[in-house]
Amino acid sequence: MASNFKQLLNSGKFVITSEISPPKGTNIEKMLHHIDLLKDKVDALNVTDHQSSVMHFPSLGGCQVIEERGGEPILQMTCRDRNRIALQAELLLAYTRGIRNVLCLTGDAVVVGDHKEAKGVFDLDSVQLLRTIRQMELGKDLGGNNLDGTIEFCAGAIVTPEARPIEPQLIKFENKVEAGAEFFQTQAIYDLDNFAKFMQNARQFPVKILAGIVLLSSARMAKYMAENVPGIFVPQYLIDELASAPKGGALNKGIEIAGRMITSLKKEALCDGVHIMAIGREEVVPDILEAAGLPSRVMA
Amino acid sequence: MKSITKQKPFDEIKQQLDRFDRVYIIGCGTCATMTKTGGKEEVLDMKKRLEELDKLVTGWTVIPTACDEMTEVAIREVDGAIRNVNCILVTACALGVHRVSLYIEKPVIPALDTLFIGIEDSPGYFHEVCAQCGQCIMGETASICPLTACHKGLLNGPCGGTNNGKCEVDKEKDCAWTLIYQRLRDQGRLDLMRKYHPPKNYQVMPRPKIIKLT
Ligand code: SF4
Ligand code: SF4
């Protein structure tokens, strides 16, 4: 049976996803709180997989909790920490726990994280991981052996519409589509004209695209992201707008900007939905939804 | 081709020689000389530094190519100076250390860290071009090895970290997949960017790699 999320994607609804960052440690209280806060307000929740190569409670663990509490999890899987044996095994486990959506990522480099001396695995890449899922769905593992019980996932990937140069990224995007990606969550976008151009090309493919909305919490953070995070471009007018916010009001300004962007994306039907990343401020996601004028409760 | 080496931190060498007070030093006249890490000059410098530690350096030699089989002859010639030492310190790459250890029954200690097999771009600048994977795909990647030149060894195009043609891990390093893209484009072979590369076979030749070439 197709996942709820997949059905929603295909229903033509403007889909909203967000994400949960698991804790560094066993204190999962905050994560549980965020899950409870968001699980009925958005259509699905990603759980990050050692985001920025910083060791955390695992994505799969977070997804199990979401599923147990009646939410719709999207399992983020990077190729950085597991070889093909471990990745396949985790897909088996995820499936048996009722998880039906996977986001396949290459993963950040080990050296940007907090275990800089670790061995980066990258036995598979994101395209190969997508194909692995499709092959396992047909009942065979990567070694060509029969599976006793198969899997079925709604598989997605990411794309960076602001990457420079863009051409090799677009080819990789097509390679992911070819490999079986059904949906894409994009890296943060802020320039809607650029994004519209990206979508013009992307529209020819039979995939759903959720625009990445990363909350800008201050002018400083926006500048930092624009200067340091590859593939993110923040127009100067947004930085100025954040800087012009009254003291202590930058976060509200950021929420307003995110809400405004979502409204435009939806109104102009630029894409199939949005993926909201509040990076450590999950509690304001409902405020972003409200600023976007979206119903506070999703009817699944 | 060169075996690219770097001298170990002197403290590490000191610690490894801790229990040895009589040392013989062997350098290499090929790669380690070209990289200025284990040629005559560096051997003499090492001798001086060991003597400052009150070690007795009974002698030294620079073998023309420490990794080849002529090393046996070279070692036999200095047999007298080696007989009474407690250890041999080798300022050659790991291949040289291995070779020397075949002919001397005493402890053989590397003074260098072997970094990679690479080429010299300009004096003093070396870079790795091949990771010896055993199944070369450069024919389809415009003679740039993604396994080696891409930080993550990705086989199917760039990650999202490409930063104006540089790699996400280092603004000084080119993104391999940007280079591959540009070269394939210039060669009119962009279709190869769309070719699927299946997961790498890491057992083309299981380690340790041994082969008899006829
Ligand atoms: S693919 Fe790369 S690592 Fe493998 S043999 Fe060719 S150059 Fe060397
Ligand atoms: S930025 Fe380029 S070279 Fe660096 S890991 Fe990504 S694809 Fe590889």
Return the exposure string of B7-40: e unless at least 16 CB atoms fall within 10 Å of the residue's CB, then b. Answer: bbeeeebeebbeebeebbbbbbbbbbbbbebbbe
Range B41-45 contact pairs with CB under 8 angstroms and sequence separation of 24 or more: B42/B7, B42/B91, B43/B91
Q: CA-to-CA distance for B10 and B21, rounded, in angstroms?
A: 16
- In this predicted structure, the answer to whether residue B117 has a pLDDT above a threshold of 60 is yes
Q: Considering only CB atoms, which chain B residues are within 8 Å of A112?
A: 168-169
H/E element, A227: helix A219-228
* Partners of residue A109 in chain B, C-beta under 8 Å: 151-152, 161, 168-169
Contact of B164 with chain A, judged by CB distance below 8 Å, is answered with yes
Q: Which of chain A's residues have a Cβ under 8 Å away from the Cβ of B152?
A: 80, 106-107, 109, 120, 122, 125
Residues 6+ apart with CB under 8 A from A83: A121, A123, A124
Strands A208-214 and A273-277: parallel
Q: What is the mean pLDDT of chain B?
A: 95
CATH number for the domain formed by residue range(s) A4-290: 3.20.20.220
> What does the pLDDT read at residue A300?
44
For A40-84, give the secondary structure using H, E and C: CCCCEEEECCCHHHCCCCCHHHHHHHHHHCCCCEEEEEECCCCCH
The residue extents of the domains of chain A are 4-290
| Domains by residue range for chain B, with CATH | 2-114 (3.40.50.2300), 129-194 (no CATH)
Are A90 and A71 in contact by the 8 Å Cβ rule? The answer is no
Q: Which residue has the CA at smallest separation from atom 7 of ligand 1?
A: B130
Six token digits for residue A57: 């409670």
User: Cβ A127–B153 below 8 Å, yes or no?
Assistant: no
* ipTM of model: 0.94
Whether B87 and B17 have beta carbons less than 8 Å apart is answered as yes
Among A residues 3-62, those touching chain B with beta carbons less than 8 Å apart: none
Cβ(B137) to ligand 1 under 6 A? yes
Q: What phi and psi, each to the nearest 5 degrees, are found at residue A71?
A: -95, 180
**CA of B158 relative to ligand 2 center, distance in Å:** 6
Nearest chain B Cα distance for residue A65, angstroms: 29
Retrieve residue A127's tokens: 């395209």
pLDDT of residue A279: 87
Who's near A232: CB < 8 A, 6+ residues apart?
A162, A187, A188, A190, A214, A225, A226
Number of residues that make up chain A: 300
Cα A287 → chain centroid: 19
Is residue B200 within 8 Å of B133, Cβ to Cβ? yes
CB-based contact (8 Å) between A121 and chain B?
no
Kindly give, in sequence order, each residue whose CB lies less than 8 Å from that of residue A126, ignoring residues fewer than 6 positions away: A79, A104, A105, A106, A157, A158, A176, B156, B159
Residue in chain B nearest A161 by alpha carbon: B160
DSSP B9: P
Taking chain A (300 residues) in runs of 10, the rounded mean pLDDT of each run is 91 97 98 97 98 97 98 98 98 98 97 97 98 98 98 98 94 98 98 96 97 97 92 94 95 97 97 95 96 71
Q: Are A156 and A11 in contact (CB under 8 A)?
A: no
CA distance B199 to chain A (A): 6
Contacts of B9 (CB under 8 A, 6+ apart): none
Q: Is A122 on the interface with B (CB under 8 A)?
A: yes
**To the nearest whole angstrom, how far is the Cα of A231 from the nearest Cα of chain B?**
6
Q: Are A279 and A214 in contact (CB under 8 A)?
A: yes
Distance between CA atoms of residues B75 and B87, nearest Å: 14
Q: What is the DSSP letter of A116?
A: T
B62: β partners: B27
- Tokens 């509040």, residue? A278
Q: Which residues of B touch A168 (CB under 8 A)?
A: 157-158, 162, 177-178, 180-181, 193
Name the nearest CA neighbour of B59 among B46, B71, B72, B69: B46
Kindly report the backbone phi and psi dihedral angles of residue A167, in degrees, each rounded to the nearest multiple of 5, phi listed first: -55, -50
Contact criterion met (CB < 8 Å) for A230 and B158: no
Residue range B100-116: average pLDDT? 97
Predicted confidence at residue A8, as pLDDT, reads 97
User: Are A230 and B163 in contact (CB < 8 Å)?
Assistant: yes
Mean pLDDT over B196-210 rounds to 92
Tell me the HSE value of B22 on the side-chain side, using a 13 A CA sphere: 8
Residues 6+ apart with CB under 8 A from A224: none
pLDDT, one tens digit per residue, over A94-141 is 999 999 999 999 999 999 999 999 999 999 999 999 999 999 999 999
> Does the pLDDT value for residue B81 go beyond 80?
yes
Does the Cβ of B137 fall within 6 Å of ligand 2? no
Q: Which ligand is nearest to the CA of B136?
A: 1
pLDDT of B206 reads 85
Say whether residue A109 is in contact with chain B using an 8 A CB cutoff. Answer: yes
- Can you tell me the distance from the alpha carbon of B200 to that of A122, in angstroms, rounded to the nearest whole number? 10
Q: DSSP string of A253-264?
A: HHHHHHHHHHHH
- Judge whether B148 is closer than 8 Å to chain A, CB to CB: no
Contacting residues of B for A174, CB less than 8 Å apart: 194
A167 in contact with chain B, both atoms CB, cutoff 8 A: yes
B155 touches chain A (CB under 8 A): yes
Cα gap A66→A73, rounded to integer Å: 6
The number of C-alpha atoms within 13 Å of B124 and in the hemisphere containing its C-beta is: 0
- pLDDT reported for residue A296: 59
Beta carbon of B154 within 6 Å of any ligand 2 atom:
yes
The answer for residues whose C-beta is within 8 angstroms of residue A36's C-beta and 6 or more apart is A69
Inform me whether the pLDDT recorded for B35 exceeds 60: yes
Characterise A254 by phi-psi region: left (phi > 0), alpha (psi -120 to 50), beta (else): alpha
Q: Which residue, B50, B65, B53, is CA-closest to B109?
A: B50
Q: Is B151 in the pocket of ligand 2 (CB under 6 A)?
A: yes
Residue with tokens 């930080």: B151
Distance, in Å, from the CA atom of B132 to the CA atom of B109, rounded to the nearest integer, reads: 26
Residue B180 has pLDDT above 50, yes or no: yes
